[in-house]
Amino acid sequence: MSYKMILVDSTEPVGLITLNRPEALNALNGELMNEMTQALRGFEADENIRAVVITGSPKAFAAGADIKEMQDMNYVEAYMKDFITANWEEATRCRKPIIAAVAGYALGGGCELAMMCDFIIAADTAKFGQPEIKLGVIPGAGGTQRLTRFVGKSKAMEMVLTGRMMDAEEAERSGLVSRVVPADDLVDEALKTARKIADLSLPSVMIAKESVNKAYETTLQEGVMFERRVFHSLFATEDQKEGMAAFAEKRTAKFKHK
């Protein structure tokens, strides 16, 4: 499939999606989101891909949903096409790990997309924000919910109510990003991290992702029980036998991802 708004590269075992709409700071329009959905589904189906990185340009991961595309929309249209959920949440449906590598602006839908990924590595140039309030609307792709879970009520409320941006240092301090790296190293660092994950046992990685995500959806007791059950299930994998044998034999494990 050929893409117009994104670049897709898969140097196995990692799939890389680069948002590529520089004239609009990677503003997310319907076409771009359709293309990203296709690319993510392709990676999900490709058994040689075991981790995914989504990035933008040095100036912008994405400056939000495309305001010009939305400006004339009315309520009935938004409702009838279920604006946003139709294809905006594909990243949350992927079972393989996805890293957001963010440089420059991650605003509005851009910040929301980054937060839908499993974790965010930020360049020291990154700026995060939910400025929708300045447009007379509010975040519509999970911003009020996910930002609050990442950084807590006070900071999320201030950002959502004022549109204030958070720089990379504050984002790391607040738990929004896992770490900050120099801008020039961002994509290499994210790919290196993705390759490290891709070398591990894919069933374990996917189950680990599912377990961490459970922490947001359930009580502590149920989450701990879920973790225990899936922990038990990993003893049915060849990779558990290999991982523990490799430790005992003082060698590097060679996982079969089964």
The one catalytic residue in 27, 90, 129, 132 is: 132
Which one, 65 or 94, has the nearer CB to ligand CO8? 65
Q: How many CB atoms lie within 10 A of CB 76?
A: 8
Output 67 or 157, the one with its CB closest to ligand CO8: 67
Residue placing its CB nearer to ligand CO8 in the complex, 65 or 197: 65
Q: Is 39 a catalytic residue?
A: no
Among 132, 172, 189, 239, binds ligand CO8 (CB under 6 A): 132
- Selected from 25, 101, 147, 171, the binder of ligand CO8 by CB under 6 A is 25
74 lies in the site for ligand CO8, by CB under 6 A: no
**Catalytic hit among 27, 62, 63, 65:** 65
108 contributes a contact to ligand CO8 by CB under 6 A: yes
| DSSP secondary structure string for all residues of the chain | ---SSEEEEEETTEEEEEE--GGGTT-B-HHHHHHHHHHHHHHHH-TT--EEEEE--SSEEE--B-HHHHTT--HHHHHHTTTTHHHHTHHHH--S-EEEEE-SEEETHHHHHHHHSSEEEEETT-EEE-GGGGGTS---SSHHHHHHHHH-HHHHHHHHHH---EEHHHHHHTTSSSEEE-GGGHHHHHHHHHHHHHTS-HHHHHHHHHHHHHTTTS-HHHHHHHHHHHHHHGGGSHHHHHHHHHHHTTS-------
Q: State the Cα–Cα distance between residues 210 and 226, nearest whole angstrom.
A: 10
109 is catalytic: yes
| Nearest to ligand CO8 of 60, 194 (CB atom) | 60
Q: Which candidate in 15, 109, 110, 140 is catalytic?
A: 109
Choose, by CB under 6 A, the member of 65, 102, 114, 156 that binds ligand CO8.
65
CB-nearer residue toward ligand CO8: 135 or 206: 135
Least Å distance, CB 39 to ligand CO8, is 18
15 is a site residue for ligand CO8 (CB under 6 A) = no
Residues tagged active-site: 65, 109, 112, 132
Contact positions vs ligand CO8 (CB under 6 A): 24-25, 27, 63-68, 84, 88, 105, 107-109, 131-132, 135, 139-141
